[in-house]
Structure 1
């Protein structure tokens, strides 16, 4: 999960951490509803929605050619630059350093001590000392401009993701961004357009797509074990109250402050990405609308009342983010995906991760399965019984991967670097990144409109109709 600590951010957003999203500048010349870039985008609309659905979201004209199915350039060594070296970036660097054929050539964070610790890790791993960028809020642009960087990894606070991904692609670099890709719909479109124009991949580094259970369910779904797919669910239900009020875990209150700005699902990617893969979203199906509902915002204020001393800066904050958001996403094929988000109330960790079809259902947390003809009597079956046949080759090859989150971080980085070294098509692309992030602004708009459906744009501009490869990959020869 991306509990990312900061690196450089777009100035002035870093210097003014309290800025609202309404103050964010537009990027493609559109008007923003509630400051979220939700206004008309112009262009033509495709009639992809099921019969009776609201009008299709407008799709701007393509400015380049599609990035769907475009391979990386083959290279013997991938040279990586890392922006943001806090909780997330400071640990992920270890995984890049653990891989053969990968060099960390540059690191960037405005907190010099963090950058120096990262540089020391690089040297300890036996690589040359990397270039260090710590001079001000915009020094990340100098890292992106280097001629010896192939891939830029961004692990910074959310409102900086757009500018950093943009800078990387404009400098001719492929870029991977922690969740979410951006916070505004017009920013998502701008990154799609920029990826197509520059021919650089811009990817959401969604580690949960590489979880062992998720990859097993993916292969089972593609093998027809669940029959015709009907519904799925994903979530980020994770009690973060203590961390969000910690004076040291995050550098500043940036994550908590998003709860003063948006009412919707701030972090849909971990739940949405895996289910979208199961259903071949953008690869034969696509999501067309989202309807979201939110509870009152009570949890953070109650936690503050019980735990924060008088005079703490948090007492100046007014929380509007729903404690629990529930969204219903529909697809062009009529399937339904339920998304949930709750980081403000007591709850054991769960991403829900369920999938159902005409032959049965899988549910996670804990993992259990019921599919015909294997199971009878309305009793859950043993999901581990399917490991030998359906575990993905990545998990068979790396049975005990290092790193956090049960090894999924390592699997993700290994596979990405493998694709770059061998010149393969990445497992997911800018269209997936934009799709998985679109619920951030759209759920906010839907909640404000009392659950009214919001149309999810076709970021692929029609390419979704063509089946193509994804995370359910074939092992390279």
Structure 2
């Protein structure tokens, strides 16, 4: 893949466009944006609510093939007192999103569809010169990620991965602490997606109860159970890495003076989903015979060019409280989110934790100081406000996206690479350099001020 990437960049015009993409467009700022939304399911409706509350966004188009979800989205529009957007997909046409992208004067699109649609939709949007704000998971296969990257570099169209955990309040405070040198030189980080999703992956097919209440998935399920569960049936790897790796990558300046160099993954046995089906539907339920490929706990380790190691865990099939399991450890101390604690050598009592709260207040990020009130009530503790705000503000300013194409493909490519490592007997694999060496000179830009 590396040689293909180099061959691509040897083309003179493509190289020039790549340089433009790295520097960011310099056109005049736009005071308002005309945006579309592809995918009006429960996640899409979260984004829709935030877009409707902005006075610098005109929502001009919605697309979904599920009538119930389109109806709910239009009810949101009506409740907000905004003009009804043009609607696509109400006739069940799975390609209706392509017509949405043909609208004249469309500045950008937010994509909140099942994962397998993210790459083709993003590629088509960028080819149409429509900026992309894409929900997490940039593609399914490793080739998907190369295709998304090449399209962005070849067109220069802005692309942002909508990873909201990068904007979590404690995560941004820890970013400030790291920048202040509180933990010394970073050595090791941990994160992951540790979230009991059994009631997300199975339900009774009732639109009024999208979470739990049955053992159905696929055509008989509803909401995420319609499509997400199938990935657990046929795939074994870290299926959802960006919540954990995004903040870790940000903290160690991946693609901005650092990069991932190697990766390996291990998967435990698969028991949790099978037992859940039996508990919900009984041993005679047809889905009790389904063999799930996804290991209950998938552990992935990454090595970085500057010597740091990062450990990720994907743990979604067993009973457990929600946690992303962050740990940021340096030569002078560490933070762990599970116990909400900090230890700083020479400041904290020897061998004792201190509560995170006082550090969080002292190092509260300027973004949260400025927008905490606006983010109140937004999804996921306010994080959803910040990720949509960042996409809109960067697009208006024609500035580089704070979570850019290189971040998107590297964070998301952990999934197919982890699948490959597990399938090959837990082999350690080289991590692709999606920047083709440009990580050495790129500068950190993420959340340096209170803009986005």
**Would you call these one fold, judging by a TM-score over 0.5?**
yes
Q: 2:278 aligns with which of 275, 298, 305?
A: 305
Answer 1 or 2: which has greater helix percent: 2
Is residue 78 of structure 2 the alignment partner of residue 123 of structure 1?
yes
Aligned residues: 426
Residue 445 of structure 1: how far off its partner (Å) = 0.8
1:415 aligns with 2:370: no
In structure 1, runs of 5+ residues without a counterpart are 1-39, 46-57
Larger deviation, residues 381-390 vs 331-340? 381-390
From 40, 45, 66, give the equivalent of 1:85. 40
Aligned to 2:190: 233
Aligned CA-pair RMSD? 2.0
| Structure 2 CA distance for aligned equivalents of residues 61 and 323 of structure 1 | 43
* Equivalent in 400, 404, 429 of residue 429 of structure 1: 404
Cα 1:317–1:398 change in 2 (3 A) is same
Q: Which residue of 1 aligns with 2:429?
A: 454
Does 1:193 pair with 2:166? no
**How far is the alpha carbon of 1:60 from its aligned partner?**
7.4
What does the per-residue CA deviation read over 1:42-75, in whole Å, with 9 as the maximum and x for residues that have no partner? 3478xxxxxxxxxxxx997674414234147521
Secondary structure, in 3 states, of the residue corresponding to 1:226? coil
SS in 2 for 1:356: strand
Residue of structure 1 equivalent to 2:243? 270
CA-to-aligned-CA distance 1:428-461 (integer Å, 9 cap, x gap):
1110000111110011111112221112111111
Deviations along 1:325-355, one digit per CA (max 9) or x if unpaired, are: 0011001111100000011011111101111
CA distance, structure 2, for counterparts of residue 175 and residue 338 of structure 1: 29
CA-to-aligned-CA distance 1:402-447 (integer Å, 9 cap, x gap): 3111100011112221222233322111100001111100111111
Moved more, 110-119 or 403-412: 110-119
Q: 2:17 aligned with 1:42, yes or no?
A: no
Q: 2:68 aligns with which of 113, 121, 124?
A: 113
d(CA) in 1 for partners of 2:400 and 2:2?
Answer: 29
- 353-362 vs 467-476, which moves further: 467-476
User: Which of 241, 256, 268 is equivalent to 1:295?
Assistant: 268
The answer for unaligned runs of 5 or more in structure 2 is 211-221
Spell out, residue by residue over 1:147-182, the C-alpha distance to the aligned partner (whole angstroms, 9 max, x if none).
Answer: 132111111111111111111111111101112111
C-alpha distance in 1 between matches for 2:26 and 2:386: 18
Decide whether the 8 Å contact of 1:292 with 1:325 is kept in 2: yes
Q: Is the 8 A contact 2:278 2:285 kept in 1?
A: no
Do residues 177 (structure 1) and 134 (structure 2) align? Answer: yes
Cα distance in 2 between the residues matched to 1:454 and 1:421 = 39
State the Cα distance separating 1:476 from its structure 2 match: 4.5
**3-state SS of 2:334 partner:** strand
- TM-score (ref. length: structure 2): 0.90
Distance 1:59 1:372 in 2: 49
3-state DSSP class of the match of 1:441?
helix
Partner of 2:214: none
